Amino acid sequence: MIIADLQIHSRYARACSNNTTLDLLEKYARIKGLDLIGTGDFQHPLWNKEIKEKLKEDDNGIIWSKTKFPFIWQTEISLMYKQDGKGRRIHHLIFSPNKDVADQIIDFLGSKGRLDYDGRPIFGFSSIELVDFMRNISNDIEIIPAHVMTPYFGLYGSKTGFDSLKDCFKDNTKHIHAIESGMSADPPMLWRLKEDINIVSFSDAHSYWPWRLGREATVFDCELKYKDIINSIRTKNKISYTIETVPDYGKYHYDGHRNCNLRLSPEETRKLEGICPKCNQPLTIGVQYRIEELAKEPEGYNKKDPTDYKRLIPLHELISSTYNIKQISSKKVWEIYNKLIAEFGNEFKILLEVPYEDLIKIIQEKLAKVIIMSREDKLKILPGYDGTYGEIILDKEKIIEEGKKQKTLGEF
């Protein structure tokens, strides 16, 4: 089994100013329980230099740190262009089979724009052209539309996206094999779109929070070779499952206005005709609304294959909700977190495997119970909206009270 997070950013990606290095990414990948990560931002001149200095490539397109942690060549770019009379902004992940091909990609991107101002640079060509350009370099390059449901920058985004893969890629759709679900959507939501496409999940961790990587991941059952990983993505044969955060937890799951303190379900938004009753401005429409808009099948479609994914909430969130601590990276949260890691090895093991009886030897019962609830996907979450993360609620009274307002919380 290879648990992989293949959407990483370097410290050169916008809004990241810190000292994060490849060493630090490796450190937190190991704590999380990841077995493979992307390099992130491989076209950025300084990051690229660091990758080449610090990592060593083997014959299978895997690049290794000195302490034997594997990476693959990965970047993300932002495309801004006009298509069918509308401005489009779409983010795509790009994977390279080796250093030589990565260098060719860099030469090409460098001919289209600057590469040094942001780890995730912007270009003016279309998604269709991107596929042609990359296929001119190598058929082993893989392009995966990233966080497809986010309003801006997602392929299906309500603001600057498309209604289908075909609308975006036209005849080049056949060269796209997978989409990345992003934190506000999971496979059951995307299955409803009835696109013929595989689904992967990665975290889009920005390196100012290197410990946030692996919130989402894809689990492969293949050999640790670039070709095998990409073949798995292309055929889905050797993808065991994806690890998804609960979509309600994502920052754009529901609709609303953060400043107006208003969280709305798609149904409520429709009743209000998309206008905020407090400030009279258009509401920020979330992912669930957009899914309802594009869905060809009702909720619950394709449930036959539930082994395709697991829904998990990160351990920091579980600890902070259990003890009612606002700041998820506070000292107290880290203390409990580190104690668990020291005992059990890594976070995925704790979230997915360690039995209750063993957990309560180290931590209080109430936290152990919350970890098991997360594992069994039984946590109640107030959906995120307008850039605000969802909120885990453990207090029964509050669940009942909120349940009356928000039907997605369901029966308790």
| Residues binding Zn ion (CB under 5 A) | 91, 146, 257, 260, 276, 278-279
Report d(CA 186, CA 361) in Å as an integer. Answer: 33
Report d(CA 381, CA 379) in Å as an integer. Answer: 6
According to DSSP H, which parts of 113-260 are helical?
A: 127-137, 165-169, 187-191, 226-235
Report d(CA 74, CA 165) in Å as an integer. Answer: 22
Name the minimum Å distance from CB 170 to Zn ion: 22
Name the minimum Å distance from CB 275 to Zn ion: 9
DSSP 254: B
Cross-strand pairs, 244: 311
Structure tokens at 406: 């928000």
Name the minimum Å distance from CB 92 to Zn ion: 9
Name the minimum Å distance from CB 78 to Zn ion: 7
Q: Which is nearer to Zn ion, 276 or 354 (CB)?
A: 276
Q: How many CB atoms lie within 10 A of CB 62?
A: 20
Q: Which is nearer to Zn ion, 91 or 310 (CB)?
A: 91
First to last CA, the chain: 35
Q: Which is nearer to Zn ion, 94 or 313 (CB)?
A: 94
Name the minimum Å distance from CB 265 to Zn ion: 16
CA angle 166, 75, 54 (to 5 degrees): 160
Per the CB < 8 A criterion, the answer to whether 333 and 324 are in contact is no
Report d(CA 298, CA 188) in Å as an integer. Answer: 10
Q: Which is nearer to Zn ion, 80 or 260 (CB)?
A: 260
Name the minimum Å distance from CB 138 to Zn ion: 23
- Which residue from 257, 256, 218 is spatially nearest to 238, judged by alpha carbons? 218
Q: Which is nearer to Zn ion, 91 or 380 (CB)?
A: 91
Name the minimum Å distance from CB 54 to Zn ion: 24
Q: Which is nearer to Zn ion, 2 or 105 (CB)?
A: 105
Q: At which residue do the structure tokens 């985004």 appear?
A: 157
Q: Which is nearer to Zn ion, 260 or 295 (CB)?
A: 260
